[in-house]
Amino acid sequence: MKKTILFFLTVLAIGVTSCSGGSDDEAQAPSPFDPGTEARPGWTARNLPDIEQNMTVYLRVQNELLPYVSVNDLVCAKIYGEVRGVGVPMLDNDEWLIPLVVFSDGTAPIQLSYYCDKLHRIYTIDWIDFDASLPPVGNGDLYTPKFVKIR
């Protein structure tokens, strides 16, 4: 009797384990941290002295990207598709920061893109509207844009 119960529990455990994994045909959504194939972009801002307004901000790298950040990464601010600022990460007191100066002729939406060299991926977000009088750091804290939405 004990052998029959043990056999039944073993078969039940194998059946539950094999059914819980789902089918092999189901496609897994790629992780935003899987290596990509994107080449390092050649982001450069045009000669900007003719643009009178600028906004300086220090961006903090979001926690989920910290294991992948390096000095080879790039951040780009675009206004209406034109590159208006480029920054690179720097290590400051054991924290990765990205100084970024953004130039604009007036109020306009800014799009930020972040190229991660270790992952060969570009992450892009719609950020804020440019306003030289209101840097996007609120109460003096560093701004941490969320390039990657974690599920």
Q: What is the pLDDT of residues 113-123, one digit of tens each?
A: 999 999 999 99
Q: Is the pLDDT of residue 66 over 90?
A: yes
Q: pLDDT confidence of 76, banded at 50, 70, 90?
A: very high
Phi (first) and psi of residue 111, to 5 degrees: -110, 130
The partner residues of 95 in beta bridges, in order of sequence, read 92
pLDDT value for 28? 74
Q: What percent of the chain has pLDDT over 70?
A: 70
- pLDDT tens digits, 18-35: 444 444 545 677 788 888
Q: What is the DSSP letter of 138?
A: T
- pTM over the 0.95 mark: no
